[in-house]
């Protein structure tokens, strides 16, 4: 089981309390599709992903980005059992969506950069460490049901 | 492969970082030590507490080397020659750590530039830092 310090719990909760899901979610997914273009392979039916401008303007990408970010709420509400919380989603990503689990880390890195840009100096090294620890636990849980 | 536009973006960003190289470099290092504690093992001989002279000077060195390389990316293998030798034979830092520091540099740049660090700029810098890291590791074996 993952051990969380009071600082880590408070920091992560704090970030999500102030989260603008409809801004950050789309921004993170768009960034991932632009910075790591091979991730576009999973979004063949999303329409125009031809260039950065098209991706940023794409409503399906925006909607999906928001959905993904809300997916993190599950971990937030179950920080002491993130592994079990994502078992079902892990199976979905493996068996149905066939997503290479290495991509989860890419998206989590992009989300970190987006949060950093929003928070500026408030995103201190310790805040970053807590946030990245949280994301790495989620990423690991999502990759667990792959066989 | 870096396009002309990407090289311009990279040069522009590095231009912004150079005057604050100390702050950017030390910030990136601190983030790396906090999030990836294994990286501290390479610094047991230095004082790496926040704002320590060692940390500031080391951070500055790294950022200036990255900015210098951005002036002529096609010549990286030449301009990084001495640093390649140094990292391969003396420092012997496991190259996976280059990726970790690159990520922390991108986070530092994002904190510094906010929304100006657009997805396209992020992509360009990520590509450059990957290329830089690859060249740096070339003499390892």
Split at pLDDT 50, 70, 90, the class of B17 is very high
Q: Write down the mean pLDDT value for chain B.
A: 95
Banded model confidence at residue B80, pLDDT cuts 50, 70, 90: very high
What are the Cα distances from residue A67, in Å, to A28, A107, B16?
12, 13, 35
Q: Is A56 on the interface with B (CB under 8 A)?
A: yes
Confidence category of residue B77, pLDDT binned at 50, 70, 90: very high
Length of chain A measured in residues? 147
Task: In whole angstroms, give the CA distance from residue B132 to residue B129.
Answer: 5
Does the structure show a pLDDT above 90 at A23? yes
Return the CA Rg of chain A: 15
Query: Does the pLDDT at position A43 exceed 90?
Result: yes
For chains A and B, CB pairs below 8 A equal 59
Please identify which residue in the block is written with the tokens 């950069």: A113
Using CA atoms, how far apart are residues A132 and A59, in angstroms rounded to an integer? 28
pTM of the model: 0.89
Interchain CB contact of A137 with B (< 8 Å):
no
- pLDDT over 90 (residue A65): yes
Token look-up 């002036």 returns B71
Rg (CA), chain B: 14
Q: How far is CA B69 from the centre of its chain?
A: 10
Lowest mean pLDDT among A48-52, B22-26, B90-94: B90-94
State yes or no: pLDDT of A147 exceeds 90. no
Average pLDDT over residues B87-110: 94
Question: Has residue B1 got a pLDDT over 90?
Answer: no
Kindly tell me if the per-residue pLDDT of B27 is higher than 90.
yes
**Using CB atoms and an 8 Å cut-off, which of residues 102-131 of chain A contact chain B?**
109-110, 112-114, 116-121, 123, 125-126, 128-129
Contacts of residue B46, Cβ cutoff 8 Å, sequence gap at least 6: B52, B54, B55, B58
ipTM: 0.81
Q: What is the pLDDT, as a whole number, of residue A1?
A: 82
CA-nearest residue to A53 within chain B is: B120
How distant is the Cα of A130 from the closest Cα of chain B, in angstroms?
8
**pLDDT tens across A69-111, in order?**
999 999 999 999 999 999 999 999 998 998 989 899 999 999 9
């Amino acid at each position: 089981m993952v051990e969380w310090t009071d600082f880590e719990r408070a920091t992560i909760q704090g970030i999500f309390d102030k989260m603008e899901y409809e801004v950050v979610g789309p921004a993170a997914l768009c960034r991932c599709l632009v910075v790591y273009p091979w991730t576009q392979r999973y979004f063949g039916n999303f329409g125009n992903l031809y260039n950065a401008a098209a991706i940023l303007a794409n409503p399906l990408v925006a909607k999906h980005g928001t959905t993904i970010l809300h997916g993190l709420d599950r971990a937030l509400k179950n920080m002491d059992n993130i592994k079990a919380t994502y078992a079902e989603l892990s199976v979905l990503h493996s068996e149905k969506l066939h997503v290479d689990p290495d991509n989860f880390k890419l998206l989590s890195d992009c989300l970190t950069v987006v949060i950093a840009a929003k928070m500026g100096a408030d995103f201190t090294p310790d805040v970053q460490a807590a946030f990245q620890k949280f994301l790495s636990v989620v990423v690991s849980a999502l990759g667990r049901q792959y066989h | 492969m870096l396009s002309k536009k990407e090289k311009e973006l990279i040069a522009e960003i590095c231009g912004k970082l150079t005057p604050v190289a100390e702050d950017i470099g030390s910030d990136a290092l601190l983030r790396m030590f906090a999030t990836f504690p294994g990286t501290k093992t390479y610094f047991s001989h230095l004082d790496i507490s926040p704002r320590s002279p060692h940390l500031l000077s080391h951070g500055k060195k790294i950022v200036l080397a990255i900015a210098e390389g951005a002036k002529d990316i096609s010549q990286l293998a030449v301009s990084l020659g001495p640093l390649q030798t140094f990292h391969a034979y003396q420092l012997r830092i496991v190259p996976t750590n280059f990726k970790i520091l690159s990520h922390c540099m991108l986070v530092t740049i994002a904190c510094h530039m906010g929304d100006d660090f657009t997805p396209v700029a992020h992509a360009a810098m990520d590509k450059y830092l990957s290329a830089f890291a690859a060249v740096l590791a070339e003499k390892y074996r």
